[in-house]
Structure 1
Amino acid sequence: MTVDPELSLEERFCRGDEGAMREMYREFSAPMYVIALRLLGRHELAADTVQRAFVQAWRAAGSFDVSRGLQPWLYAITRRAAIDVYRGQRRAAEMLSLEPEQIDRVMVAYDPTMEETWQTWQVRQALDQLAPAEREVIDLAYHGGQTQSEIAAHLGIALGTVKSRTSRALRHLAASLGHLRDDALTDR
């Protein structure tokens, strides 16, 4: 498919230009690999994650919002793909018929970065347990990099509503993730 080369990379990608996909791979695959490696701690899993992320991105190209940047969108896909890869690894480990605590000990003993992956997974679970309105403001603030005023404008709600939703969400997250803080304090 030939697409006007005067269009931005985002526009060409959205229109299904394979050349844009190759450019994106050259520009973003290395940082995506670093993200996946940091989350998973194993080179082969990180490489698999990047491949999965690009396949998912290509499949979603037509729905990509060109007004948003490719980089944060690709990084979010990479994080989700890493979680999927991690879940697959967990399922395989569970097939060994070990207790979950034993699997955690084996995996952490095998690779110290698995502890960070476990913590990342715990945070993801806590975020998934938030009410949708709370999760939305947290996502826009932390992943979208928006201020509370920008979130209010984006969602068409009062600034006070954004602040109260953010406060509630942070209280819920603190309650759900308190054990991570306690673990960090006992490790000292």
Structure 2
Amino acid sequence: MTEQQWIARARHGDADAFEQLVVAYEGPVYRLALRMCGSAEDAREVTQDAFLAAWRGLPAFRGDSRFSSWLYRLTTNAAIDFLRREKHHLGNLPLEEAPERSAPQQPELLAEQREQQEALQRALDQLSPEHRQVLLLRVVQQLSYDEIAQALSLESGTVKSRISRARRQLREILLRQGNFFPDSAVLPNGKEG
């Protein structure tokens, strides 16, 4: 069965079809929640909230955007709501999903890369949830500006300006921390376009 068929069946209350969608998207949703919240326990709760919102909202899902874009929007909204509700201070979480720039065999290089990832996560934690949201959707989930705009019900220009501000703030934070990463290394796949 295709994803569209699972969606159609789930929209009509088929719990087994919805379970197939959960299985397909649980990993990406959890990773996005983890980056938004900073702790595994909080990310599990946000993931549950996002899928619960998806189950409840699926009958109204029109399919104007990709299912994944809609689900990522639900996830980021659930994370923002959770963070506000809990007034949660973000912890330090390494970006374990960030691709390695090389495969060094030297312990010094491995330690340096780990330190850079930790510094990057600390800097991400200092961004507002809205800036972190668009930046992670762009860089981690690799959504286009239009997909992010559609998923978050924003204008494309607003998405572009938020991403630009988030990148600028991230660079400033990293510089203040004494981390002088080259611009291309600020975030994995950190393309502006």
TM over 0.5, shorter chain: yes
Given that 1:50 and 1:78 are in contact with CA atoms closer than 8 Å, whether structure 2 keeps it comes out as yes
CA RMSD between the two structures: 3.9
Larger-Rg structure:
1
| Equivalent residue in structure 1 for 2:127, among 106, 110, 119 | 119
Output aligned runs, 1:22-61, within 5 Å.
Answer: 22-61=19-58
Q: Distance in 1 between matches of 2:19 and 2:86?
A: 29
Given that 1:83 and 1:121 are in contact with CA atoms closer than 8 Å, whether structure 2 keeps it comes out as yes
Q: Distance in 2 between matches of 1:41 and 1:175?
A: 21
Q: Normalising to structure 2: TM-score of the pair?
A: 0.56
Q: Quick one: structure 1 residues 110 and 25, their matched pair in 2 at CA, closer, same or farther if it must change by over 3 Å?
A: closer
Q: Distance in 2 between matches of 1:174 and 1:67?
A: 26
Say whether 1:181 aligns with 2:182.
no
Q: Normalising to structure 1: TM-score of the pair?
A: 0.57
Say whether 1:68 aligns with 2:69.
no
Q: What percentage of aligned pairs have identical amino acids?
A: 26
Aligned pair count? 140
Unaligned residue ranges in structure 2 (runs of 5+):
95-117, 136-142, 180-193
Structure 1 position 68, deviation (Å): 3.2
Structure 1 position 10, deviation (Å): 1.8
Q: Could you say which residue in structure 2 is the equivalent of 1:156?
A: none
Structure 1 position 181, deviation (Å): 3.3
Q: Quick one: structure 1 residues 114 and 77, their matched pair in 2 at CA, closer, same or farther if it must change by over 3 Å?
A: farther
Could you tell me which amino acid in structure 2 is paired with residue 63 of structure 1? A
Q: Distance in 2 between matches of 1:40 and 1:48?
A: 10
Unaligned residue ranges in structure 1 (runs of 5+):
94-103, 128-139, 152-161
Say whether 1:12 aligns with 2:9.
yes
Structure 1 position 69, deviation (Å): 2.3
Structure 1 position 75, deviation (Å): 1.5
Q: Could you say which residue in structure 2 is the equivalent of 1:157?
A: none
Given that 1:10 and 1:66 are in contact with CA atoms closer than 8 Å, whether structure 2 keeps it comes out as no
Given that 2:123 and 2:170 are in contact with CA atoms closer than 8 Å, whether structure 1 keeps it comes out as no
Could you tell me which amino acid in structure 1 is paired with residue 125 of structure 2? T
Q: Could you say which residue in structure 2 is the equivalent of 1:81?
A: 78
Given that 1:33 and 1:46 are in contact with CA atoms closer than 8 Å, whether structure 2 keeps it comes out as yes
Which secondary structure does the structure 1 equivalent of 2:22 belong to? helix
Structure 1 position 174, deviation (Å): 5.0
Given that 1:126 and 1:177 are in contact with CA atoms closer than 8 Å, whether structure 2 keeps it comes out as no
Q: Quick one: structure 1 residues 28 and 178, their matched pair in 2 at CA, closer, same or farther if it must change by over 3 Å?
A: closer
